Structure 1
C-alpha cells in the first residue's frame, strides 16, 4: 500500500537521545511517511539536530515553538499533519524497523479501519519486557470489547501503540488536554473512539519505550492533578458506554478507576493535608465508589493495604487516622534513614 503516515515527535532538551530516535524512524522498512519534529523551546542543541535532519531528508519537517508542554507540541503536530494517518513517538524512545509496517498491515487487512493498535517493548535498565496483544478486528458494535481485550495487557493508554485516521481527529477537533500531564494519552484515545468505526489489533510490537527512574515519569503530582486525570478518564469511558454497550468494558472502567484512585488517595495522605480535608475526601470517595472496590485485585502491597482498609466497615474517622499514622511513621523512617 502507498499510504502516507505522519509521525509526530515532540522534542524538548532531547539531544542525548534524539539521533537514535530520528535514525530509527528514517530507517523504517515502510518509507512513505512524513516526520514532524516539534521543538518545544529546547535549551540544548535539539533544535539544531532537528534542522540538520530536515536539511538532509525531505520527509522531515521541523517546527519550533516556545515551551508549552508535550500536549501543546502534539497538538501543533496534528495541526501541521497532512498525511491520512498519524502516530506519535517520544524523542527519548526508538523504533524497531517494522513499526510502521505493522500499522500498514493493519490497514491492508481492513482498508476502512479507523485505528490500528500494536504492542510495545518496555525497556528497563537490565531487561526488556515485550508486550504483544492478541490479533483481532473489531467493528464498531464490538469496539469496547476490543479495548477490554487490549486492557488485559495494560497497554491501551500508551500513545505510541496506536495509529489514527487524521481526518477524524481534524473533523471533530480532537486535541490533547494541555492542563493535564498524566494519562492525557488515554483520554485522547477514549475521545477518539467516540468517532471510530473499527479497530484492528496487530500481534506484534516494535516500539521501544524507555522506562526512566527519574524525569517526568517520576514527577511528583498533587492529589488534585491525579484525581482530575482519573475523573476525566472515567467521564470519557462512561460517555462511550452511553453510546456502545459492553459489560466487560464497564467492569474494566471501574477497575481501572479504582487503581487510579489509589494513586490520588496516596497523595492525599503522603502530602499532609488537614484532617478535615482528608475526612471529607474519604467520605465522598466511599459513597461514590465503595461498590467498585472488589473489582480491583492489587498486586502492590500498599494498594492491598488501602483496599483492606476501605472495604473494612470502619468509620471514616478511623480510616483517616490509620492512614495519617501510616504516613507519619513513613516520614519519620525516611528522616532517620537520611541522618
Structure 2
C-alpha cells in the first residue's frame, strides 16, 4: 500500500474491554488509505494480546509496545512512527463514524488542510450532549475565526463569549486531523510533565502553526464519559500539574504578544484549574485528610503568587453568577466559608 493519508493513533492502557468497539470503528472506515497505530503503554491487563490479535487480522494495524506510561508519551510515540500525511487521535474507550476519513479525504483534496476539526457526541448513561465549535460548516477559517477557535480552546464555556453552545471538545486532541509535516517540522508534541490538561496545552500552542483550517459541525466522534473519568477522579497533588500548564501558557502569551482577549480567556481557564484543584484534590471525597488540614491547604494554594495575581485581575464577566461568588470569597480570603462550600459540593456531586 502506498503511504496512507491518515495515521490513526490509539493510546492503549488497560483497555481490553473497549478495544473491540474502538478498533472496529477504525477498520471499517469507508476510506482505505489509513494506518492504525495501537500504542500499548504499560497495560497490566491483556490489552497487548488483544492488540496483537487485531493486527494479525488486518495489515493496516501496527502494534507499538511502549513501556512508558501516560497518554502523552503514547501519542508522541504514535506521531514518531506514523507515516500518514495526517495524524488523528482516538482514545481506546471511544469510537468514530466509519465514514469520517472519507469525508475528510474528499474535502482535503480541494482545500489541502493543515488542520481539520469535526464535532463530537458526549455520551453518559442515557444522556447525549453535542459539542461543536460553530453553528455552520467552515471550509476555511478566516484569521478571525482561527483566533476564535484558540479562545474556545482556552475557555470553552465562558458566558461572556458570543457563542452559547458546548464547545468543550475544542481543546481535545481527538476530533482533529493534524498535518504530520507541521507536527514534525515544529516538533509539536504533548507535554509529558503533566497528566492534566495536556490536550489543551498542546492545541493552544500548536494552533499558531496551522493556517489552513477547516471544520464540519457534523459529529463523527463518540466520547463515552464514565463515572471514573478524569474529570471525576481523585487527583492528589494536582496543583503541581495545573501549575506546569499555567506556566507554559503564560510563557506562550508573553512570547507571542497575544491580545488582552487571549489573556482574559487564559485567566478564565486558570481559575477553572483552581476550581479543579479544589474539587479533584483538596476536597475530593476520597481525600482522607481532616477538614482543618484541607482548609489550610486551600489557604496555602490561594496564597501562591500565580493564583493570587489571577484571582485579583481576572475578568469576572467570563464567569457564571455562582462562580463570581466563589471568586469574591477568594478575594476576601473567606477560607472557612470556601472550604465548607467545596466540601459540600464534592459530597453531594452537584
TM over 0.5: yes
1:297-329 superposed Cα distances (whole Å, 9 cap, x missing partner): 237x5x454124235xx3x3xx22332455677
Aligned mates of 2:151, 2:301 — CA distance in 1: 33
Specify the alignment match of 1:297 in structure 2: 319
Aligned partners of 2:10 and 2:37 also within 8 Å:
yes
Q: Is the contact made by 2:132 and 2:169 (CA closer than 8 Å) also made in structure 1?
A: no
Q: Deviation of residue 104 (structure 1)?
A: 2.7
Q: TM-score, normalised by structure 2?
A: 0.80
Q: How does 1:110-189 map to 2 (within 5 A)?
A: 110-111=111-112, 113-134=113-134, 135-136=137-138, 137-139=140-142, 143-148=146-151, 151=156, 152=163, 153-189=167-203
Contact 1:184 1:229 in 2 (8 A): no
* Deviation per residue, 1:225-280 (Å, 9 max, x gap): 353255146326625752xx655444433322322232235567526357488257
> For the structure 1 residues 55 and 218, does the alpha-carbon distance in structure 2 shift closer, same or farther, using more than 3 Å as the test?
same
Q: Does 1:322 align with 2:337?
A: yes
* Alpha-carbon distance between aligned partners in 2 of 1:17 and 1:177, rounded to the nearest angstrom: 26
User: What are the Cα deviations for residues 48-71 of structure 1, in whole angstroms up to 9, with x where unaligned?
Assistant: 121122122111111112242111
**Pairs within 5 Å for 1:1-339:** 4-111=5-112, 113-134=113-134, 135-136=137-138, 137-139=140-142, 143-148=146-151, 151=156, 152=163, 153-221=167-235, 222-232=237-247, 234-235=249-250, 238-239=253-254, 241-242=256-257, 248-266=261-279, 270=283, 272=293, 275=296, 278=299, 281-282=302-303, 284=305, 285-298=307-320, 303-310=323-330, 314=332, 316=333, 319-326=334-341
TM-score if structure 1 supplies the norm length? 0.83
Helix, strand or coil: the match of 1:155?
Answer: helix
Instruction: Tell me the CA shift for residue 293 of structure 1.
Output: 4.2
Q: CA contact under 8 A between 2:18 and 2:93: conserved in structure 1? A: yes
Equivalents in 1 of 2:189, 2:206: separation in Å? 9
Q: CA deviation at 1:208?
A: 0.5
Residues 11 and 3 (structure 1 numbering): CA distance in 2 closer, same or farther, change over 3 Å? closer
The alpha-carbon distance between structure 1 residues 264 and 277, as it changes in their structure 2 partners (threshold 3 A), is: closer
Q: Name structure 1 gaps, 5 residues minimum.
A: 335-339
Counterpart contact for 2:4–2:35, Cα < 8 Å:
no
SS at match of 1:156: helix
Q: How many residues align?
A: 322
Q: 1:67 to 1:227 in 2, by over 3 A?
A: closer
Aligned equivalents of 2:261, 2:107: Cα separation in 1: 24
Q: Please state how far the C-alpha of 1:26 moved relative to its aligned partner.
A: 0.7
Residues 195 and 241 of structure 2 are in contact (CA less than 8 Å); yes or no, is this contact kept in structure 1?
Answer: no
Cα gap change, 1:204 to 1:237, in 2 (>3 Å): farther
Superposed CA RMSD: 3.0
